[in-house]
Amino acid sequence: MGSAETVELFKQYVVPNYGRYPVCLVRGEGSYVWDAEGNKYLDLFPGWGCNLLGHCPEPIVRAVQEQVATLIHVPNTWYTEAQGLWAKALSDRSFGGQAFFCNSGAEANEAAIKLARLHGKGRYKIITFENGFHGRTMGSVSATAQPKYHDGLGPILAGFTYAPFGDLEAVAKLVDNETIAIMIEPVQGEGGINIPPPGFLKGLRELCNKHDLLLIFDEVQSGCGRTGHWFAYQHFNVVPDVMTLAKALCGGIAGGALMTTKEIAPSLRPGMHAATYGGNPIAARAGIAALEMIEQENLLEAAKKVGEVFKRRMTALQAECELIKEVRVLGVMIGIELMIEGAPLVKACMERKLLINCTHGTVIRLLPAMNLSLAQAEEACDVLCDVIKEHAR
């Protein structure tokens, strides 16, 4: 079946809640994907950030194949060795503590919101940040301080107050006797790869300590090695009380997690929250395999080197091209803010078989695989630089 036929099939039978490119993708390997017509694309936004290890990484494929043939799913009323080992692996690489498993970033953030309110014993307000993004369930979209995502859904969940990202004084003014938590992406992803100013996260930690608040880091996009450390908070030496993970957590298989300390974890008591498929044996094996692959192939360092290529090339282009307003890079989280709309550049790159993303209208967002080769990174920069220069004429 060709792309055009698949598009017609969707028109008949699939709810049209996504904007889609008129291309049917059929196969992926590493940082390449192929469409139904046999065209090959270099993918700098693989799986919307979920394929941090590239398409179909061999260790993940092998682990999933073995697990599917052994035990697909059992309820969380039973123990499985894989889930326990997965929790330990995440705990060992972060701040210790315990894990709750679910299926997505929105679910992980929903769990964090519930955990905060249960822990607050009556205090219920959570401070979040402008241009942040926490998901599309009612709780997580209410935490997302972007009115465009609330349009038509009201009334949204009460209890969220919004502060400008990076403005510590504004955050302090929002804290009152009903506040229980501050929830933030340590590096904003959907908001445009926004890196916090020096001292901001440390200041939030101090505010939380002073007012007995939980500090929740949403690392759905920045976690699992994407920034060159296991978790973005490790760049800033600020440890959260709660951390949420998803996207790359299972190397492309659906999975989400909430990490918290052993002291806070009991607040999410039995009966108050659950995820039927959360921590299932397939996701658990994939999650463990993803962590092992990153270590065995030294991909944390690889992510830093790939990021340096993009930073060098895009910063050099900025010096000669007035279209580029700012370049923001942390590992393989890459944002190139333009002075113009980015959608035409996405289209132009796709015509040259390079897949990129644009967010917030003017920010080219790249989340390439950690194992993108340096030659592939240079090749991608060649195309991207040409396209940006063409739009500057």
Provide the annotated active-site residues. Answer: 133, 218, 247
Closest CA to 150 of 170, 168, 130: 130
Q: SS3 string of 301-330?
A: HHHHHHHHHHHHHHHHHHHHCCCEEEEEEE
Q: How far apart are the first and last CA of the chain?
A: 40
Question: CA 370 to CA 367: how far, in whole Å?
Answer: 9
Burial (Cβ within 10 Å: 0-12, 13-18, ≥19) of residue 172: middle
Query: Which residues, 6 or more positions from 94, have their beta carbon under 8 angstroms from its beta carbon?
Result: 230, 231, 243, 259
Length of the chain: 393
Please answer whether residues 101 and 279 qualify as being in contact, where contact means their C-beta atoms are separated by less than 8 angstroms: yes
Question: CA 3 to CA 296: how far, in whole Å?
Answer: 38
Q: Which strands make up the sheet holding 324-330, listed edge to edge?
A: 324-330, 333-338, 363-366, 357-359
Q: What are phi and psi of 275, to 5 degrees?
A: -145, 115
Per-residue DSSP letter, 155: S
DSSP H helices in the chain = 3-13, 58-68, 81-93, 105-120, 138-143, 168-174, 200-211, 233-236, 281-296, 299-320, 343-351, 374-392
Question: 268: which 2 tokens?
Answer: 């999410």
